[in-house]
């Protein structure tokens, strides 16, 4: 077989291995290693490339952002900042049809700016928001759908682990990726709020419930006490990066320290809680870096096989337009979203399509935003919608089935697709803060 044929078979073998339950990094590393060995008929070369992949990935200074932002997210979750932001948002939207859902979206957007985790958002707001919406008679599918849909903001609004992973694969600046994610993330949050308003106006049966008019107005002092810690963290992290005062690594360290101070001042941090946060940070960091190492050897295998160049030649021979390439890219991500998590999708598809995008003179920062938003839709689609599974597991309510969670999230997945099309058509939405 030719190297290209081996490369094609290796991609299919990786997807099949993951589908039958092989741990994703193991599938990437083992199949890529064997493919390089077969292509070059050289076991030592395959071993050397594996060693280089490990050295080039986990030893990168930029990846210090992963444990720092992960630790910050875990600490602020323990400090209860998500609940505080939700309380403030709820009082602001209390008289609007579907207002609690809008409050959930707004709180998720703010919480995303200090956690960067869709899983953390889904877990926190399943406990806080869903019981409130059910209390006011909202449709259970709408209640869980809002939480599922808005939880994906954690991977788009910086700091985001997915933007960090993409920046490594595409060799882009983490700081630029963070800045590029701000407007698309806020844009998606606004689109969600508009969609909830439209549902309340035209399909009130899907929302159900009544306005939460019995909420007591919150005093301004209490509002300040609940919002200032989050605003301060956002200012330290994103403000530091945007002004150039802090590098992404320094911003992660400053944010982690500030989060720790806030949790301690609130009396929410014990030695046991601190130790648990450190352990969980280690587990999450090890998982991400293992994935990145696997992706590094995978991308080298693709390069040896010449698969990206072969794909580029095929599309060029068929005179594929910009939109043809982007439609194929989005469809591939949506398909893989039914099987894989977001990080795995990014690590598999980006090395294939980067050689197509670069010669077209397109911004790789913009392409990263398109990639993350497209891959995030997979968090809401069956059978492997991770956010939906987290919500179901967190609620542990027999009245709400996994099907209800997926059906409730479906309209929000549609909103994401519309926003994705707008981001593709108007790259300036992603690049405005970089100019």
Round the CA-based radius of gyration of the chain to a whole number and report it: 22
Task: Provide the pLDDT for residue 188.
Answer: 93
Quote the tokens at residue 325: 């390439």
How many CB atoms lie under 10 A from the CB of residue 324? Answer: 12
Query: Tokens 């919002």 correspond to what residue?
Result: 227
Measured CA to CA in angstroms, residue 260 lies from 86, 111, 136, 231 at distances of 21, 16, 35, 15
- Compute CA 354 distance to the chain's CA centroid, rounded to the nearest angstrom: 20
Task: Provide the pLDDT for residue 228.
Answer: 85
Q: Name the 3-class secondary structure at 138.
A: strand
Classify residue 237 by its DSSP letter: I
Provide the sign of the torsion angle of the four alpha carbons 83, 87, 92, 93, taken in this order: positive
Torsion region of 320: left, alpha or beta (phi above 0 gives left; psi -120 to 50 gives alpha): beta
Per-residue pLDDT of the chain (435 residues; tens, 9 = 90+): 677 777 778 878 887 887 777 877 888 888 888 888 888 778 888 888 777 777 666 677 777 788 888 888 888 877 777 777 777 777 767 667 777 888 888 888 888 877 766 777 777 778 778 887 887 788 888 888 888 888 888 888 888 888 888 888 888 888 889 889 999 999 999 999 999 999 888 888 888 766 555 556 677 777 778 888 888 888 888 888 888 888 888 888 998 898 888 888 888 778 888 898 889 888 888 887 887 788 778 877 877 777 777 776 776 666 777 888 888 888 888 887 776 777 778 888 888 888 788 888 889 999 999 999 998 887 777 766 677 777 777 776 677 888 888 888 889 989 999 999 999 999 999 998 886
Q: Name the 3-class secondary structure at 266.
A: coil
Q: Are the C-beta atoms of residues 423 and 370 closer than 8 Å to each other?
A: yes
- Residue 142 CA to residue 207 CA, distance in Å, equals 6
């Amino acid at each position: 077989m030719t190297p290209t044929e081996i490369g094609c078979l290796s991609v299919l073998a990786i997807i099949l291995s993951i589908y039958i339950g092989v741990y994703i990094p193991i599938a990437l590393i083992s199949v890529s290693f064997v493919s390089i060995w077969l292509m070059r008929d050289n076991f030592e070369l395959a071993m050397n490339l594996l060693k280089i992949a490990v050295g080039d990935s986990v030893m990168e200074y930029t990846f210090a952002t992963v444990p720092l932002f992960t630790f910050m997210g875990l600490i602020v979750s323990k400090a209860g900042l998500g609940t505080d932001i939700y309380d403030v948002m709820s009082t602001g939207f209390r008289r609007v049809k579907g207002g609690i859902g809008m409050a959930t979206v707004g709180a998720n957007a703010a919480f995303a700016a200090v956690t960067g985790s869709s899983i953390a958002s889904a877990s926190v707001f399943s406990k806080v928001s869903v019981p409130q919406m059910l209390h006011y008679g909202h449709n259970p599918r709408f209640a869980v759908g809002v939480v599922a849909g808005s939880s994906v903001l954690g991977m788009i609004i910086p700091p985001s682990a997915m933007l960090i992973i993409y920046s490594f694969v595409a060799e882009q600046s983490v700081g630029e990726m963070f800045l590029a994610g701000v407007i698309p993330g806020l844009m998606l949050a606004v689109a969600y709020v508009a969609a909830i308003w439209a549902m309340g106006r035209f399909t009130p049966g899907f929302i159900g419930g009544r306005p939460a008019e019995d909420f007591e107005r919150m005093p301004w002092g209490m509002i300040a006490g609940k919002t200032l810690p989050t605003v301060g963290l956002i200012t330290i992290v994103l403000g530091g990066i945007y002004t150039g005062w802090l590098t992404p690594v320094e911003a992660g360290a400053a944010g982690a320290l500030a989060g720790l101070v806030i949790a301690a001042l609130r009396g929410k941090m014990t030695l046991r809680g601190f130790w648990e946060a450190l352990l969980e940070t280690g587990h999450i960091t090890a998982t991400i870096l293992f994935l990145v190492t696997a992706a590094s050897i995978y991308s080298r295998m693709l390069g040896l096989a010449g698969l990206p160049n072969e794909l580029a030649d095929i599309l060029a021979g068929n005179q594929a337009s910009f939109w043809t390439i982007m439609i194929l890219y989005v469809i591939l991500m949506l398909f893989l979203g039914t099987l894989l998590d977001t990080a795995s999708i990014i690590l598999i598809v980006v090395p294939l399509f980067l050689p197509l995008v670069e010669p077209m003179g397109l911004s790789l920062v913009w392409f990263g935003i398109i990639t993350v938003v497209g891959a995030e839709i997979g968090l809401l689609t069956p059978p492997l919608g991770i956010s939906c599974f987290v919500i179901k597991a967190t609620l542990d309510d027999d009245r709400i089935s996994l099907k209800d969670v997926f059906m409730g999230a479906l309209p929000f997945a549609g909103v994401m697709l519309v926003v994705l099309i707008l981001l593709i058509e108007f790259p300036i939405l992603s690049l405005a803060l970089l100019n």
